[in-house]
Amino acid sequence: MTTTMNMNMTGLRKILIGLCAAPSLALLPAAAWAQTVDINSASTYQVIRGFGGHNGVGWIADLTSQQVDAAFGTGPGQIGLSILRMRIDSSKSEWQRQVPTAQLAKAKGATLFATPWSPPAYMKTNNNVAGSGHLLPRYYTDYATHLLDFAAMMRANGAALYGVSIQNEPDWEVSYEGCLWRTSELINFLRAEGGRFNDIKLMGPESLKFDKAMSDPILNDASTVQHLDIVAGHLYGVTPSDDALARSKGKELWMTEHYTDSAADANDWVNAMPVAVELHKSMNSNYSAYVWWYIRRSYGLLTEDGKVSKRGHIMAQYAKFVRPGDRRIVATERPYHDVLVTAYKGANGKLVVVAVNNGAQRRSLDLKFSADKPSTLSRYLTSATTNQQYMGENAVADGKVSLVVEPLSVSTLVNQRAAAQ
């Protein structure tokens, strides 16, 4: 963590201590005047496929059925994840480990996809799953079969995959399980084998820093662009950013792995708030999916005891309400410099607004809806002292409603309360 980040975290911690020591948030002054958030459901952006996490079975213990419920359930206090990421082991004898949690998540309606960390050792230049090496071109067909066989095994076990990735972080040289791919190698593989993945979405490159330099040549190549269905990447060392080229080619953007900090406990509120900011930035960058690293970890969405963490409750402010198939709609993104807003619409007139207050002041907002106008909005709040707490109903008059959002908090407003319980 950089010195600047440490200073920022220290400042936020002092603010948080002060807020918790105050007699009541209601006694804190709001802004002198409200800022307007214009919301127009007639103008849409990306479709949302969901929010998810990685199951680390094979490296750590599998999720229990109760933990799957906590992560993928949509009941009170649960997270509402709708995407499960899993690992394609280099050894087929280990594949069955992925089935139990995948079956349970699938039964809850989750989208499943899988990522390989390494091909079998004999297919690589270094003859080892550890260390990076490269996939030998003479094994392109065998490697494609390896990926498709995993998908077939999952399908046979009632846990059909939506997509499969070519490689985890092909641009990151590691000492553990991994494989390096040059962009030219990805292009050659897609030319040779991409047509075999007709029944399953092919994802990639899943680069460490969502590097457009890896995906752009694929998208600009007429022989490969039709084979890459989803442009996927990670956010290590970078902030979310749009990819206009990918979208112009009809490709969805999926953020398939990140964690904001592995050193801090997942229940440390100051270190949890960056998750809310990153979720907002990802949605505002036209990402259709956001997938956290380990679901259960000391820094995860669930802590090691299986309880939903503060980071998990933040994720729930998006995941439980913004469901697969919803679309992001036009909304004023920054009514204040420290308040971040996105809005969404779904079936049957559903509208959702998520407001992240990343600052030290209460902020007054005037929400103004054009096109679809709700009659009332249910509000849910996660803060240092609350977890997805129902905050009551906000009546909407002629498409307008005013509210105050607390410092260092995430508020979700939805006009279909029953569907969110």
- HSE of 342 in the Cβ direction (CA atoms, 13 Å)? 26
Helices (H), 83-211: 99-107, 140-156, 183-193
CA distance 247 to 376: 34
CA distance 19 to 408: 9
Catalytic residue among 169, 206, 252, 278: 169
402 CB burial (10 A radius; 0-12, 13-18, 19+): middle
- Candidates 359, 165, 179; CA nearest to 254 is 165
CA distance 273 to 383: 9
The yes-or-no answer on residue 94 being catalytic is no
How many other C-beta atoms are found inside a 10 Å radius of the C-beta of residue 4?
8
What single-letter amino acid sits at 29? P
- Candidates 228, 337, 242; CA nearest to 284 is 242
CA distance 301 to 122: 36
Close Cβ partners of 152 (under 8 Å, ≥ 6 residues apart)? none
3-state secondary structure of 326: coil
From start to end of 346-407, where are the E strands? 351-357, 363-370, 376-382, 389-395, 400-405
Close Cβ partners of 296 (under 8 Å, ≥ 6 residues apart)? 56, 60, 63, 67, 71, 302, 303, 304, 306
Phi-psi region of 349 (alpha: psi -120 to 50; beta: other; left: phi over 0): left
Helices (H), 123-268: 140-156, 183-193, 212-219, 244-248
- Are 112 and 170 within 8 A, CB to CB? no
3-state secondary structure of 225: coil
The yes-or-no answer on residue 257 being catalytic is yes
Catalytic residue among 177, 185, 252, 257: 257
CA distance 379 to 255: 27
Residues annotated as catalytic are: 169, 257
